[in-house]
Amino acid sequence: MTVAQARKTSAQERKHWDRKWIPYVLLAPAIITIVVVILSPLVTTIYYSFSNIDLIRDRTTFIGFDNYVELFSSRLFWKAVEINLKFAAIVVVVPTLMGLFFAVLLVEDFVGRGLGRTLLILPWALPWIVIGLLWNWVVHSQFGALNGLLYSLGLIDKYIPFMADENWALVFTAMASAWRQTSFSAILLLAALQTIPEDLYDAAKVDGAGMRARFRFITIAWIRPTLTIVLLYNIVLGFLQFDAVWIMTQGGPGDATMLISVLLYRYSFINFDLGMGAAVSNVLGLITMGVGLIFVRLTYRSQSTYS
């Protein structure tokens, strides 16, 4: 065997070796970290939810379903569920409708469209915590922008302490969440609207379809997949929102804005009852997993038709 031949075979061998092992090497960091940080805590949360955790003595005792029994028989939990459902209703309806409204506006050709599209990004670019602060300025009882506006317009004589009222507090924490989520929804819907071929509308016009019919049977039909995804995202946010609510009310006044996520934080990091916290985590996880599974099913299907 000549030297050149030997070199050639070893190169081929190396190439073969590459093909076989490279993917595992490339994947290792991602898979290992995902297993350590996401999957192992997942298993642990499930275990913890059946345990009593004594942080001081560092002792974990298995107690079966006691945490869940306590949780499901507590009035606090069902109150949180009720509050969260109302909150989620606003966070689903407002951003989806307003997002669609703004998206439809921003496919129109008019002076200011570029400015509109750029401005639309702004709420999405702000951290949730800042959204909470912004809306805190809007609804504040002494110097709030909304009070100021109503007062300037002569609609009120004295400022309304919105956040001291249980209903207003829930509405405005939900509106703060809806504010950012509207941008997110509009960005996605706008991207979908831009893919509608113009001749579809022309053809429909020739066929005598009115504006309403065109909107319903072309626009909505075309963006339906995106609309579904937007709805799912908004539902998930309705149950996972924490930041904006925490900075605005910390669950108050009373328990008026105590979402399930706020309850989770209270159990885990205020009462330091980590077992109960884990039980709440799992309930919350099951809700969003349910929504998420629909989501993965839909997207995976759309991806396989795509490729």
Partner 1 sequence: MSASSQTSWQVAARRVATYAAFFCLLFWVGFPVYYMLITSFMDPPELGVKPPHWIPQEPTIENYREVIIGQTGQRGDYGTTTEFSRMMPALLNSTFVSVSVVLLNLLIGGMAAYAFSRFDFRFSRFAYLSVLMTRVLPALSLIVPLFIILRKLKLINTLWALIFTYTIFILPLTIWILREYFDTLARDIEEMALIDGATRRQAFRLVVAPLAVPGLIAVGVMSFMEAWSEFFFALTLTNSLTYPPLLMSFRNLHQVNWNALAAATTIGVLPPVIVAFVFQRYLVRGLSEGAVKG
Residue ranges in 103-122 that form contacts with partner 1 under rule CB under 8 A = 105-106, 108, 110, 112, 116-122
Apex CA 198: angle with CA 195 and CA 200, to 5°?
100
Q: Is 142 in the site for partner 1 (CB under 8 A)?
A: yes
Among 173, 181, 219, 281, interactor with partner 1 by CB under 8 A: 281
Q: Is 187 in the site for partner 1 (CB under 8 A)?
A: yes
Query: If binding means CB under 8 A, how many residues of this protein chain bind partner 1?
Result: 101
Q: Is 6 in the site for partner 1 (CB under 8 A)?
A: no
Among 69, 85, 89, 145, interactor with partner 1 by CB under 8 A: 145
Shortest Å, Cβ 77 to partner 1? 15
Q: Which stretch binds partner 1 (CB under 8 A): 76-84, 135-143, 161-169, 197-205?
A: 135-143
Among 64, 155, 300, 304, interactor with partner 1 by CB under 8 A: 300
Q: Is 277 in the site for partner 1 (CB under 8 A)?
A: yes
Q: Is 62 in the site for partner 1 (CB under 8 A)?
A: no
Among 127, 197, 210, 254, interactor with partner 1 by CB under 8 A: 127
Which CB atom, from 36 or from 89, has the smaller least distance to partner 1? 36
Nearest 5°: phi and psi at 29? Answer: -60, -45
Q: Which stretch binds partner 1 (CB under 8 A): 68-76, 82-90, 162-170, 187-195?
A: 187-195
Shortest Å, Cβ 244 to partner 1? 9
Contact 260, 80 (CB under 8 A): yes
Structure tokens at 31: 């898979």
Among 148, 197, 210, 254, interactor with partner 1 by CB under 8 A: 148
Shortest Å, Cβ 62 to partner 1? 16
